[in-house]
Structure 1
Amino acid sequence: MGGILLIFIGSVLIVNGISIIKGYDDKETGIFNGIIGFFCLIGNIVLMLNAKESADYVAIAQSMLFTFTYIFLSLVKICSLSGKLFGWYCLFVFFNALFYAYYTNSDLRMVTLWLLWAVLWFLFFCVFSLNKKIRYLGNLTLIIGIATCTIPGLMMVTNNW
């Protein structure tokens, strides 16, 4: 299930990156974020109902960081909110991502993914809460979506990870 969710998380990062680069409509981007966030929420609920070990709950907690990112961002975009509190949530997730990079230190691939995601969440904190302009944010979001979500997710679902 994790690989499937990761593919769709990649899709929303790709769409968000393109939206930032091209300046597309916030409401349209928000709807897509909401669809993916809701899909991930359903997937995580299914995982929770079937969880048996501590590692299962760790994976769910990790995935829910993404889930609530996209649900929260969808509301920011659709409702034309300032996003200041969303930025602070991104800072919270940044610190969680650093923890998970440390926690998964036996798997260098996952350490790398968590560190790249941490960078992205920190940059979104800077944009939304500190009103910083980051020229390369759209390109970075697009690249991270492909390299850290879509490709690993496809590898996971085909047992090549």
Structure 2
Amino acid sequence: MSAVGLFYVGAVLILNGLLLLGVVSAKGAAPLNLFVGGLQVVVPTALLIRADDPAAVFEAAPLYLFGFTYLWVGINAAMAWDQRGLGWFSLFVSVTAVAVSVYNGAALGDGPFAVIWLYWAVLWFLFFLVLGLDTARLSRLTGWFAIVTGVVTAAVPGALLVVGLWPAPTAAPAAAITTGALALIGAAALLLPALLGGRGHAPAASAPGG
């Protein structure tokens, strides 16, 4: 995923977290979902056209998972479609994200992005529970986790990548610290809302951030 694309993914995740929390409406969140969704379809298509090895294909192909999610959210807002289809697609995204996480960690030795992909796997699984299985009591937890995920896995890494400050996988100490920090923040983001009673109901017009 390009650094610029990752940065804007952070924006849409934060916005859709606010959507799940009832701060913004589905129609209010639709334009950014459509803009970023379009970006996340155009960019991998361009990368795949130029791809000449399996590594390049691997880098580009998973981006469609998020592009399709954001476009689906935006179209759902305009058309008032049933959210369950998007919820079940989110389960597919979640399982795929686990596989990509394992590949990043085991094959590429990229600890930070292995953890980042795990964030996305958990978040999309929460989308599946909320939208696919209509588990409304998890809406607020999912909204808060989407906001945290948008900040720590997309907006901040995207900005640091743009300015060349994100640690390379070969930079062992910095990469290890980043991996540990990401894991701790993710665990806290899942556990603290539950401990503080943040699993209450959110408005029905909720949708993923992707």
With normalisation by structure 2, the TM-score equals 0.73
Q: Deviations over 1:39-69 (max 9, x none)?
A: 2222222222222221111111121111111
Aligned counterpart, 2:82: 82
Q: Distance in 2 between matches of 1:108 and 1:69?
A: 25
Aligned AA (2:132): S
Structure 1 unaligned blocks of 5 or more? none
- Bigger helix fraction: 1
Q: Deviations over 1:82-133 (max 9, x none)?
A: 2111011000000000100111112110111011110000000001110002
Aligned to 2:116: 113
Greater Cα radius of gyration, structure 1 or 2: 2
Paired-residue identity, %: 30
2-structure distance, mates of 1:36, 1:157: 18
Q: How many residues align?
A: 161
Structure 1 match to 2:52: 52
User: CA shift at 1:150, angstroms?
Assistant: 0.7
Structure 1 residue 17: deviation in Å? 1.1
- The CA RMSD measured in Å over matched residues stands at 1.3
Looking at structure 1, the residues matched to 133 and 61 of structure 2 have their Cα atoms a distance apart, in angstroms, of 27
Deviation at 1:26, TM superposition (A): 1.0
Question: Could you tell me which residue of structure 2 aligns to residue 159 of structure 1?
Answer: 164
Please give the alpha-carbon distance, in whole angstroms, between the structure 1 residues aligned to 2:16 and 2:80.
16
2:82 match: secondary structure: coil
Moved over 6 A (4+): none
The Cα of 1:147 is off from its aligned counterpart by 0.3
1:102: which partner in 2? 102
CA distance, structure 2, for counterparts of residue 86 and residue 21 of structure 1: 18
